[in-house]
Amino acid sequence: MTATSFRYHLPKKAIKSDCPDCGPKHRKTLSRYIDSLTGEPLPDIYGRCDRESNCGYHLNPYHKGPSGLSYHDEMKNRERQEPIPKDWFRTAARQKHNGETKQRIITNLIRLQHATPEQAERVANFLFDGPVASSSGPTPPAGPTPVFTIPDELLKQSLGHYERNQFAILLRRHFGTNVADDLLKRFNIGTSGRWPGACVFWYIDEQNRIRGGQIKLFDEFFHTVKYVIRNGEKRSRTSWVHSAYARRLDQQQTPYPAWLTAYLDEQNDVQKSPCLFGLPQLATAPIDKPVAIVEAPKTAVISTPYFPDFIWMAVGALSYLNADRMAPLRGRRIELFPDLSKDRSAFDRWNRIAGELLGHGFQITVSTYLEDNATQDEKAAGLDLADFLLEQWEGYPPDWEE
């Protein structure tokens, strides 16, 4: 078998970058592996150093790591799990009808639809090897649960209006306008009309699909506003974009659009935040920049200017930390910052899950900073990293009832 018959190989015309082991003294000594189906280089840890006698660095994408899987294995597994849009089958069917070859259809899907090679091959195999397509186009085979999303227009409409967004006002007051506006743009923070002053934390996945939007109303100290219902129970001013939108349409006696009907259908098992908050940052972040994970979106936003060496993201809730949500972070160094708890249960839970993720090939550690520095009262109150950072803000009162 020749070298070029492998999907990943070192091309004759080398693509160069810095070797991880040589350091800054020897620049551009690493020959990168490329994906033969796309022509794109692999992450810059996969390559062979030209200084074979002095360095000898060589990481092959077929080499199995501590998890027992190679880069090749992980890409295959990830591509098999990604859903395939129905439009790709219809487009490919038209191309087949017009006489395009199987390989040409695969190439078109990769180039024009940004499909992964595995996805493109699955579409082409279904068309050429599966049942005959109907006149309306083929029905894709059973696969992952369809993804239900919120239209881009709603996100775009929410961006801006920061003069009436309490979270934006607080960021500008605490960090200054330039830093605050960078954070608002970086995290796609929106403004909601659900309550005067409310903001929206948009959950956007690695494919830039809008999976959910959490609405929050904060008081003047970054605490979620609480209210008391008739039986004396405290509730927070927290909602979701799809719920608020449905509520407004109900008040206007207006029919739901198709996307909202599908999103609200319990049979579709739609989750409000099935991905990490802050994923769009990966599009421009260096591959060697580590990721820090916290529970709340607010904490991820506030921590970013304090610790810019991390890419800050949030899972949304203590129980949401799992391999599915963390999948886009494979290949990156990850550090978890669990909230405090009276009995250390939050830390122990994330520490246990981190051990499981290590077994699946994730590079992950758990920070003990809060556990090592918090008082018993702070632990009992369940404070998080943002609370510790904001204590430095003059006039910021601790309110451990949140």
Q: In the prediction, which pLDDT does 313 show?
A: 98
- Dist CA 274 CA 256 (whole Å): 23
Q: In the prediction, which pLDDT does 387 show?
A: 87
**Range scoring the smallest mean pLDDT among 118-132, 182-196, 254-268:** 118-132
Q: Mind listing the pLDDT tens digit for each residue in 9-20?
A: 888 788 888 887
Higher pLDDT, 64 or 141: 64
Q: Mind listing the pLDDT tens digit for each residue in 265-282?
A: 765 555 555 799 999 999
The candidate with the shortest Cα–Cα distance to 237, out of 65, 354, 402, is 402
Inter-residue contact 369 to 384 (CB < 8 Å): no
Q: Cα 291 to chain center, whole Å?
A: 11
pLDDT, mean of residues 334-350: 91
Q: In the prediction, which pLDDT does 123 show?
A: 83
Q: In the prediction, which pLDDT does 400 show?
A: 39
Higher pLDDT, 133 or 60: 60
Q: Mind listing the pLDDT tens digit for each residue in 360-393?
A: 888 999 999 899 988 888 888 888 899 888 876 6
Q: Which two tokens stand for residue 114?
A: 């940004």
Inter-residue contact 212 to 203 (CB < 8 Å): yes
Question: Residue 80: beta bridge partners?
Answer: none
Q: Which two tokens stand for residue 204?
A: 């956007």
Q: Mind listing the pLDDT tens digit for each residue in 301-319?
A: 999 999 999 999 999 988 8
Q: Mind listing the pLDDT tens digit for each residue in 74-116?
A: 777 665 555 678 778 888 888 887 788 888 888 888 778 777 7
Alpha-carbon torsion 97, 101, 104, 106, what sign? positive
pLDDT at 168 over 90: yes
Cβ-proximal residues to 178 (8 Å cutoff; 6+ apart), any chain: none
Q: Could you say which DSSP state residue 144 is in?
A: S
pLDDT, mean of residues 197-217: 94
Q: Mind listing the pLDDT tens digit for each residue in 237-265?
A: 999 999 999 999 999 999 999 899 888 87
- Dist CA 84 CA 121 (whole Å): 11
Residue 216: pLDDT band (50, 70, 90) is very high
Q: What are phi and psi of 275, to 5 degrees?
A: -140, 170
Residue 137: pLDDT band (50, 70, 90) is very low
Inter-residue contact 119 to 80 (CB < 8 Å): no
- Dist CA 274 CA 212 (whole Å): 8
Cβ-proximal residues to 6 (8 Å cutoff; 6+ apart), any chain: 36, 62
Alpha-carbon torsion 125, 131, 136, 141, what sign? negative
Q: Cα 370 to chain center, whole Å?
A: 24
- Dist CA 310 CA 333 (whole Å): 10
